[in-house]
Structure 1
Amino acid sequence: MSAIDGLPPLRQVIATHGLSAKKALGQNFLLDLNLTAKIARMAGDLAGADVLEIGPGPGGLTRGLLAEGARHVLAVEKDARCMAPLAEIAAVYPGRLEVVNADALDVDAAARLTPPIKVVANLPYNVGTELLVRWLTPEVWPPFWDSLTLMFQREVAERIIATPGSKAYGRLAILAQWRCDARIAMRLPPEAFTPAPKVDSAVVHLKALPGPRFEADPKLLERVVAAAFNQRRKMLRASLKGLAPDIEDRLRMAGLSPTDRAEQISIEGFCALARTLAD
């Protein structure tokens, strides 16, 4: 990568700018520029697309996105120490990299980008799941983004792609798979990062569908799923009794057994239940 953009290796960048990773910011830097380029390619054709990157750190993935042809990259970084190395990247790619020193939870990224938009990020561990849920639950669907290519702890990645009957299956799987195609694109061991985390990581690719797989009111579906999995060991007739006094009848109307548990219910089943509750 340094041969492509003329910038120094990431270890040198980190040493020059004193960028020791901060645990409080959930930082684990991916320093192999071959890997960051591979992640960038997992997002698909970037030519003609704007890209949102959260937590670029010293800019390894940023460099990969720009080298792979992204039209414009909006990099949101909370750590002010990273502004200088990111500015060096921006100088090599004039007009194509915008860096915002802010908390990603406070930035209206859609207002700064032009469709088509892809989100590609090695997400900080401490905000990754919250950001994902926000992206999956907008007021209007389709969302502002076409696809999400995101690095998570392996446990979180497995929860996103989990299927009914598995221990990992829950609210996150339903939110992700109801309106997206989701798959794990790559797995990475701890030693790929500096500092090495205690767990494996994985890149998840989510492609937004034009509409939901099954009809349901989004807010009501979220209420049903949250109630069911908040007490996942209980039968549905117990975990969902607060949603309707005749919950057993409504479960049967949806084709579900009142004695089933949340982890046994497909997305289609939850959507059917949400529709009966709406009626």
Structure 2
Amino acid sequence: MAALDGLPPLREVIATHGIAAKKALGQNFLLDLNLTARIARAAGDLSKCDVLEVGPGPGGLTRGLLAEGARKVLAIEKDARCLPALAEIADAYPGRLEVLNADALAVDPLAHLTPPIRIVANLPYNVGTELLVRWLTPPAWPPVWQSLTLMFQKEVAERITAQPGDKAYGRLAILARWLTDPRIVLTLPPEAFTPPPKIHSAVVHMTALPEPRYPADGKVLNRLVAAGFNQRRKMLRASLKGSAPDIEAKLEAAGIKPTARAEEIGLESWCRLARIVAASGSGA
């Protein structure tokens, strides 16, 4: 890949600009340009899309996205040390890379992007889940993005793609499957990164559904699911006791045994319960 874009290997870039990964920023750099190209390809055809990338670091994935034909990449990078390296990439791809030196949690990228939009990122571990939940809970659905292709700690990726009964099944899986088709497309060992984290990582690809998989009020659904899984060892009649009056009758009306636990309940049943609770006036 370095031969394609005329830029030096990432190890050389890091050494030249003194970009040692900082634990406080959740940084673990992926230096293999073959792997970053695979992640870019997992996002699909980017030639007619603007791409939002959070936490590009020295720009390995950025280079992959541009080499795979992204119409434009907006890279949001909090660490100012990375800006010179990203500027070199911008010079190699004139007019196709815009860099914002900002905190992704504090900036609205939409003013810098033109739909269709895809989000592709090796997310900093310390903000990955929070960003995902934000992207999955916009004011209206469908969202402005077509798909998310995101790297997480493997255990977080498993929480996103878990099925009822799985140990990892919880609020994240329900939210992701309610609104997207989530699947793990790539798993990476610690040694793929510099410095190597203590855990494996995985890339999850999520395609936005045109509408939620089952009808439900998102706020009510979120509230019920959060209450159920916050006390996942309790029966639902206990964990949801404060969520709505006469919760046992509402659980039974939804076809859910009041003695069941949250991890046993599938998405469709959670949505049915949310509709019943909302209809009773016990909404969000």
1:271 is matched with: 271
Report the Cα distance in structure 1 between the residues aligned to 2:177 and 2:111, rounded to whole angstroms.
Answer: 26
- Cα deviation code 1:32-89 (max 9, x no counterpart): 0010011000000010100000000000000000011000000000000000000000
Q: Which amino acid aligns with 1:72?
A: K
2:146 is matched with: 146
5+ long unaligned stretches in structure 1: none
Residue 73 of structure 1 aligns to a residue in which SS?
strand
1:179 is matched with: 179
Shift of 1:111: 2.3
Report the Cα distance in structure 2 between the residues aligned to 1:244 and 1:75, rounded to whole angstroms.
Answer: 43
Shift of 1:107: 1.3
2:205 is matched with: 205
Q: Normalization by structure 2: what TM-score?
A: 0.98
**Runs of 4+ displaced beyond 2 Å:** none
Report the Cα distance in structure 1 between the residues aligned to 2:263 and 2:18, rounded to whole angstroms.
Answer: 47
5 Å-filtered alignment, 1:252-271, equals: 252-271=252-271
Residue 98 of structure 1 aligns to a residue in which SS?
strand
Report the Cα distance in structure 1 between the residues aligned to 2:52 and 2:24, rounded to whole angstroms.
Answer: 22
Q: Which amino acid aligns with 2:203?
A: V
Residue 145 of structure 2 aligns to a residue in which SS?
coil
5+ long unaligned stretches in structure 2: 280-284
Residue 106 of structure 1 aligns to a residue in which SS?
coil
Report the Cα distance in structure 1 between the residues aligned to 2:142 and 2:107, rounded to whole angstroms.
Answer: 20
Q: Which amino acid aligns with 1:62?
A: T
Q: Normalization by structure 1: what TM-score?
A: 0.99
1:235 is matched with: 235
Deviates more, 1:69-78 or 1:104-113: 104-113
- Cα deviation code 1:226-261 (max 9, x no counterpart): 010010000000000101220000000101000000
Shift of 1:188: 0.2
Report the Cα distance in structure 1 between the residues aligned to 2:118 and 2:139, rounded to whole angstroms.
Answer: 19
Residue 104 of structure 1 aligns to a residue in which SS?
coil
Report the Cα distance in structure 2 between the residues aligned to 1:111 and 1:163, rounded to whole angstroms.
Answer: 37
How large is the RMSD of aligned CA atoms in angstroms?
0.5
Report the Cα distance in structure 1 between the residues aligned to 2:97 and 2:65, rounded to whole angstroms.
Answer: 10
1:57 is matched with: 57
Q: Which amino acid aligns with 2:176?
A: A
Q: Which amino acid aligns with 1:39?
A: I
Report the Cα distance in structure 2 between the residues aligned to 1:184 and 1:110, rounded to whole angstroms.
Answer: 27
